[in-house]
């Protein structure tokens, strides 16, 4: 049974889940950044206790308008840059510069952070690629048109079908009660931020600090296919690791420990 205890703090209106390290602590903390339609809960389920148990001070923020963070009333107007500033404001509060671990949209936030600040390291998990969302959207429309429609409906505040979450995040079996719980946590996303990630505010790799980077993807990811994850890795001069029989929600899949252990091993090898 998990005995790691987290606490929730607020910094400038931004929710931050803090999970202290267990035993001998590593010097470098970890900051987890969630993807679209979600908040910090996606990390609290498995990853925060896992990395804390392995000695890392682990933090997960909810971006503006997400979770308990301020800004829900004007969510649709929040830009990608505001998300980046949310992360920067949290980083400024941490005891040391963190390795930033971003999933999906959070991976785009991590890339944009590197345009502004140097970081010890970055982990991109099924991240929006530096070329933006357009190719991923076209792939989803071609392969899963109903899922494409449902996600766009959710973007404007609609209520997607229950099975949409299963298709979007999971390739492996998931207990119905867990899926229902996750479903209740989901929320709309900022249309402005989506447009920024599609076209208007894409990363410029030539301007970015070149921190050590780990790029991960999932073989059965319907939202950011493995081929695009591999292109992301190529853009940054590295190679991608693709987890077999796994969907977009790497940190929530039943084999979540495979990706967590892989990241932990990489962190150790990098000296973090």
All structural domains of the chain, each given as residue ranges with its CATH number in brackets, are: 7-270 (3.40.50.1820)
pLDDT at residue number 1: 43
Closest listed residue to residue 151, CA positions, set 106, 109, 104, 111: 104
Check residue 132 and give left, alpha or beta (phi > 0: left; psi -120 to 50: alpha). left
207 CB-side CA count, 13 A: 10
124 CB-side CA count, 13 A: 34
pLDDT at residue number 134: 86
- Residue by residue, pLDDT tens for the chain (272 residues) are 457 889 999 999 999 999 999 988 999 999 999 999 999 999 999 999 999 999 999 999 999 999 999 999 999 999 999 999 999 999 999 999 999 999 999 999 999 999 999 999 999 999 999 999 888 778 777 887 776 676 666 655 555 565 776 877 899 999 989 988 998 898 889 999 999 999 999 999 999 999 999 999 999 999 999 999 999 999 999 999 999 999 999 999 999 999 999 999 999 999 99
Q: Hey, is 168 helix, strand or coil? A: helix
pLDDT at residue number 4: 81
Query: What is the β-pairing status of strands 58-62 and 99-103?
Result: unpaired
User: pTM of the predicted model, to two decimals?
Assistant: 0.94
What is the C-alpha separation between 100 and 84, in angstroms, rounded? 12
- Beta carbons within 8 Å of 17's beta carbon, 6+ residues apart: 6, 7, 8, 40, 43, 44, 48, 59, 60, 61
């Amino acid at each position: 049974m998990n005995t790691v205890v987290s606490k929730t703090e607020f910094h400038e209106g931004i929710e931050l889940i803090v999970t202290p390290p267990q035993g001998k602590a590593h010097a470098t903390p970890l900051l987890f950044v969630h993807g679209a339609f979600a908040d910090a809960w996606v990390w609290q389920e498995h990853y925060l206790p896992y990395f804390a148990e392995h000695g890392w001070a682990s933090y997960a923020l909810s971006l503006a308008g997400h979770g308990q963070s301020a800004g829900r009333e004007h969510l649709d107007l929040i830009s990608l840059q505001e998300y980046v500033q949310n992360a920067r404001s949290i980083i400024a509060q941490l005891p040391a510069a963190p390795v930033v671990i971003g999933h999906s949209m959070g991976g785009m936030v991590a890339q944009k952070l590197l345009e502004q600040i140097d970081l010890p390291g970055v982990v991109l998990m099924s991240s929006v690629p530096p070329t933006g969302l357009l190719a991923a959207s076209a792939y989803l429309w071609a392969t899963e048109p109903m899922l494409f429609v449902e996600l766009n409906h959710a973007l404007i505040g609609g209520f997607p079908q229950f099975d949409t979450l299963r298709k979007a995040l999971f390739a492996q079996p998931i207990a119905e009660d867990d899926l229902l719980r996750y479903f209740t946590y989901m929320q709309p996303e900022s249309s402005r931020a989506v447009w920024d990630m599609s076209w208007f505010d894409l990363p410029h790799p030539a301007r970015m600090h070149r921190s050590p980077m780990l790029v991960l993807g999932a073989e059965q990811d319907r939202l950011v296919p493995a081929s695009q994850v591999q292109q992301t890795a190529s853009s940054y001069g590295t190679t991608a690791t693709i987890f077999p029989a796994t969907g977009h929600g790497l940190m929530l899949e039943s084999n979540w420990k495979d990706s967590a252990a892989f990241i932990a091993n990489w962190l150790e090898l990098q000296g973090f």
